[in-house]
């Protein structure tokens, strides 16, 4: 039975919306049960979630049944505080073996981000993955009783040899001690094709910190290629990241830790290694590196480049290339070439200038991020089965 979207709204602890037929769905959906998502996709027919508001203590959108053809547009997802110990805030979306997935102009607050595991689509324009123009606040996997789950804005895992994948024009802002992100974007045992690499471009990423932010160890970053794939066909490959801005990240800004034919170029990597209140971030290391983290043979880890980027990464005690800088990881950047090193000092004001450049960039390109206001004439109905 078709019901107006407004009738789906705002019932605390309401049952999961289980979508068994294709169509366009809208409304407000809330779950206070961490074991029940706000929405579950249970069909291979095309589904559009448009102008939804999702609030939950667990997973917000569950597309794990396989074969999903899902578009999420102009939706806002808010992860509510966990109600149990050893439970992380919910992810915005999880998809397993999807056929197509597009998440565009959405907003995510305090969520565990997006996880895409394996892929069923053929990589054509209508059967690929696109994550575009989203506004993201505080990715976190933090438990209320301490510790937490590794979380990412975007994690691809086992998405192999898929063409036309694009992650672009997203704004990700993580605040120290209010977020708990690992790698903001992690490409794990996932690949594009030689003719159509995974494209990660024109994203603004600020913040990747341990908890507390002044802790001495951290393994996250802004963008990292990752994975233990043992052959050229099963490891990360064919990834191109360009025109991104990665600001104020501990450990690293952009690393190539696995794979082949990965190229980072014309990005901006900037960190003052300071918190907004002036305290020093102790878990910083180097802006960028090419290192064989899984000790794979040359048939698996090869043909990777980091070139023509603009870098200013403060790190006390190093001099790469200037005093108290570690722009290129010592001993782990053999194919880092043609990069431009910003002059000292790299300060909080330098970081703020990156934010201003981002806003100017959006304006010049005419790009609007996050949900757009719902048109008054839009009459969307939801089908609930």
pLDDT digits (tens, 9 = 90+) for 209-256: 999 999 999 999 999 999 999 999 999 999 999 999 999 999 999 999
What is the residue-averaged pLDDT of the chain?
94
Q: Which residues contact 364 (CB under 8 A, 6 or more apart)?
A: none
Residue 245 C-beta-side C-alpha neighbours within 13 Å: 21
364 sits in which H/E element? helix 348-365
Question: What pairs with residue 255 in β-bridges?
Answer: 224, 289
The conformational region for residue 34 under phi > 0 = left, psi -120 to 50 = alpha, else beta, is alpha
Q: Which residues contact 250 (CB under 8 A, 6 or more apart)?
A: 208, 209, 210, 213, 218, 220, 281, 283, 284, 285
Q: Are strands 183-188 and 171-173 parallel, antiparallel or unpaired?
A: unpaired
pLDDT band for position 66 (50/70/90)?
A: very high
Give dist(CA 120, CA 126) in Å, integer.
12
pLDDT of residue 160: 99
Longest dimension (CA), the chain: 68
Give dist(CA 6, CA 119) in Å, integer.
34
The pLDDT of residue 138 is above 90? yes
pLDDT digits (tens, 9 = 90+) for 271-294: 999 999 999 999 999 999 999 999
Cβ atoms 256, 233 nearer than 8 A:
no
What is the domain partition of the chain in residue ranges?
135-369
């Amino acid at each position: 039975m078709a019901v107006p979207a407004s009738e789906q709204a705002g019932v605390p602890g309401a049952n999961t919306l289980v979508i068994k037929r294709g169509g366009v769905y809208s409304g407000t959906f809330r779950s206070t049960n961490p074991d029940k998502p706000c929405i579950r996709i249970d069909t291979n027919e095309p589904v559009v979630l448009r102008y939804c508001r999702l609030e939950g203590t667990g997973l917000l959108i569950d597309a794990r049944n396989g074969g999903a053809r899902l578009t999420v547009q102009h939706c806002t997802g808010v992860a509510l505080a966990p109600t149990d110990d050893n439970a992380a805030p919910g992810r915005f979306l999880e998809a397993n073996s999807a056929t197509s997935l597009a998440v565009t102009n959405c907003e995510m607050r305090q969520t565990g981000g997006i996880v895409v595991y394996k892929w069923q689509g053929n990589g054509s324009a209508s059967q690929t993955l696109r994550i575009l123009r989203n506004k993201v606040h505080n990715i976190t996997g933090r438990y209320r009783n301490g510790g937490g789950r590794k979380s990412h804005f975007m994690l691809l895992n086992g998405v192999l040899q898929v063409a036309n994948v694009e992650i672009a024009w997203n704004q990700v802002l993580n605040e120290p001690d209010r977020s708990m992100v690992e790698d903001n974007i992690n490409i794990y045992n996932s690949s594009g094709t030689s003719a159509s690499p995974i494209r990660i471009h024109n994203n603004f990423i600020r913040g990747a910190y341990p908890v507390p932010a002044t802790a001495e160890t951290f393994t996250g970053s802004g963008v990292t290629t990752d994975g233990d794939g043992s052959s050229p066909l099963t490891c990360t490959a064919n990834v191109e990241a360009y025109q991104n801005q990665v600001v104020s990240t501990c450990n690293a800004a952009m690393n190539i830790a696995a794979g082949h034919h990965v190229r980072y170029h014309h990005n901006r990597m900037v960190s003052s290694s300071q918190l907004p209140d002036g305290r020093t971030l102790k878990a910083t290391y180097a802006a960028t590196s090419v290192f064989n983290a899984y000790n794979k043979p040359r048939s698996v880890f090869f043909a990777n480049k980091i070139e023509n980027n603009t870098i200013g990464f403060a790190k006390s005690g190093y001099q790469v290339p200037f005093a108290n800088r570690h722009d290129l990881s010592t001993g782990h950047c053999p194919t880092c070439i043609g990069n431009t090193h910003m002059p000292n000092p790299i300060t909080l004001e330098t970081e703020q200038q990156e934010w201003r450049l981002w806003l100017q960039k959006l304006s010049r390109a005419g790009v609007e991020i996050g949900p757009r206001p719902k048109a008054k004439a839009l009459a969307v109905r939801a089908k609930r089965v």
